Structure 1
């Protein structure tokens, strides 16, 4: 079985994915794969061609790129068109290698069109998101808000039939493994 966990920045996707992992699933983290993919020489060349101002002395400045894509949806879409095909290939490769029960953690997972048996959408309020990202990444609220807004807009367009929604706010009761197991294997 392949379970896909998705949601906006700071919703708590990794927390929920780790709980699913504890149900004897192998984990694939798309953010980790994206950090590796963005270092591939051919990907770097494409990014440099598309976003030359995000490079300093031939090195990608991730902060500049993040600021650009958080404020400009066209730039975000352009970056996604460069990196997502490679991310998808890497995930499919890991699925083949790992086999068995797998949980995939990715913000906009449905857009990768992977063979997902059960989606889990993790939701959190904007306040929770801003708090978590400020604490975790030390990023400005404005930048986090822009990313949240972009992701939330896209997520609202999904129409998934095999989806469970979990609200994971700061004040939400912790979700137990037993509850999660029941939701996944209903």
Structure 2
């Protein structure tokens, strides 16, 4: 079984994915894969051609790149067109070489067009998101809000039949394994 966990920045996707992992699933984290993809020479060259201002002395400055894409939807789309095909290839390869139950953790997972048995959308309110990301990444609220807003607009367009929603706010009690198992296998 392949489960896709998606949602906006700071929603708690990784927390939910790690809980699913304890139900004997292997976790594929798209953020980790994207970091490796960004380090590949071919992808880095394409990014440098598209976003020369994101480089300092020929080195990609990820903070600058994040700022650029958080401020401009067209820049985000351009970056996604460069990195997402390779991320999809890497995830597909991991699925093929790791038989069994898998959970894929990716903010905008449905856009990859992978075969997924069930989607879990993790939602959190804006305040929760801002606080989590500030604590985790030390990002300014404005940058986080911009990413959150872009992702939320894209997610609204998804029309998925095989989806369950988990609310994961700071006010929500911890989701138990029994609740999670019931949501996944209902």
Is this a same-fold pair by TM over 0.5?
yes
Provide structure 1 residue ranges, at least 5 long, that are not aligned to the other structure: none
Inter-partner Cα distance in structure 2 for 1:129 and 1:182: 26
Query: 2:162 matched to which residue of 1?
Result: 162
1:35-184 correspondence to structure 2 within 5 Å: 35-184=35-184
Inter-partner Cα distance in structure 1 for 2:57 and 2:29: 30
**Cα-Cα RMSD:** 0.4
Q: Which runs of 4+ in 1 moved over 6 A?
A: none
TM-score (structure 2 length as normaliser): 0.99
Provide structure 2 residue ranges, at least 5 long, that are not aligned to the other structure: none
The Cα shift of 1:173 comes to 1.1
TM-score (structure 1 length as normaliser): 0.99
Inter-partner Cα distance in structure 1 for 2:120 and 2:81: 24
The Cα shift of 1:99 comes to 1.1
Superposed CA offset, 1:121-155 (max 9, x none) = 00000000000000000000000000000000000
The Cα shift of 1:101 comes to 0.2
Q: How many residues align?
A: 186
Superposed CA offset, 1:19-67 (max 9, x none) = 1110000010000000000000000000000001111111001111000
Inter-partner Cα distance in structure 2 for 1:4 and 1:99: 16
Inter-partner Cα distance in structure 2 for 1:61 and 1:180: 38
Inter-partner Cα distance in structure 2 for 1:76 and 1:162: 27
